[in-house]
Amino acid sequence: MDNRPIGIFDSGLGGLTSLKELRQLLPQEDLIYFGDTGRVPYGVRSPQTLRRFAMENIRFLQSHDVKMIVAACGTISSIMTDEMAAGLPIPFIGVVKAAALAACRITRSGRIGVIGTPATIRSGSYKRIISETLPQAQVATRACPLFVPLVENGYIEETNPVTEMVARDYLSAFDGQKPDTLILGCTHYPLISPVIGRIMGNGVTLIDAGQEAARQVKEYLSSHELLAGEKEGRTRYFVSADTEDFDVIAARFLGRPLECAVEHVDVDDLCR
């Protein structure tokens, strides 16, 4: 048994897709969420910068004595090397592997689509794991750089015409060879999954990378006897930009007000 909190981070709101699932699966766990909203978006940055951000965010979470780190971010999960993860004194879980394996299990036609940030798609991370697991799979990918700013600015309603127009343009990449399974390879994208799902049409299963990673976290903690004891788990939220903006959109996505005030972290303190 281990009653220390689980640390979860993302560039902003996206990691809430993991947090929401973790809260349901593991109600007894304490969760510490960090959204690096002062430096969002991550997906347009270089691997070197992203690796630095990853280590700074991990150090911040470690300062809260977490028992595990979840990079609830497709971009960070795509550029973290095995050596970086192995060098940490606590377990590290990203979102790419769990989502890629889920797509391989679910696809019937072997045609899998992946959407993600430019950095994620450029890294080839999802494609690599899918090809290793299901060599006959045909994988089509599309970077969707405008989705993260849309989500961070609250353009998440299903009827939002701007989100609809941008999504139609990006998703037309799959018109030729329609996948039956589409990986939402950036954890921000499930916040606009009603729009994405409607455009892709019935018969296309959407895989939520953050949700899949949360299931992997539960399995890991159970099999390593690291689950917290019976109690009501608490959540703390930290962000590196305006706390109010985060609070409002997060509450809309979670479907309830946050259980506590969002706390602020200075970006300069992360870099020290």
Binding site for ligand DGL (CB under 6 A): 10-11, 14, 40-43, 73-75, 117, 120, 148, 186-188
Within the chain, residue ranges assigned H as helices are 16-25, 47-62, 74-79, 82-86, 96-106, 118-123, 125-133, 147-152, 161-171, 193-200, 209-223, 243-254, 267-271
CA 87 to chain centre: 22
**Shortest gap between Cβ of 111 and ligand DGL (angstroms)?**
23
**Shortest gap between Cβ of 1 and ligand DGL (angstroms)?**
31
Q: Which is nearer to ligand DGL, 40 or 104 (CB)?
A: 40
Helix pair 243-254, 16-25: axis angle to 10 deg: 50
> Residue 189's closest CA among 122, 115, 239?
115
Residue for token pair 């890294």: 123
Helix or strand or coil: residue 34? strand
Burial category of 184 from C-beta neighbours within 10 Å (exposed 0-12, middle 13-18, buried 19 and up) = buried
266, amino acid identity: D
Q: Which is nearer to ligand DGL, 145 or 197 (CB)?
A: 145
Q: Which is nearer to ligand DGL, 42 or 237 (CB)?
A: 42
d(CA 77, CA 94): 5
**Shortest gap between Cβ of 19 and ligand DGL (angstroms)?**
12
**Shortest gap between Cβ of 186 and ligand DGL (angstroms)?**
4
d(CA 205, CA 214): 18
**Shortest gap between Cβ of 77 and ligand DGL (angstroms)?**
7
Q: Which is nearer to ligand DGL, 3 or 49 (CB)?
A: 49
* Catalytic site positions: 73, 186
Q: Which is nearer to ligand DGL, 40 or 66 (CB)?
A: 40
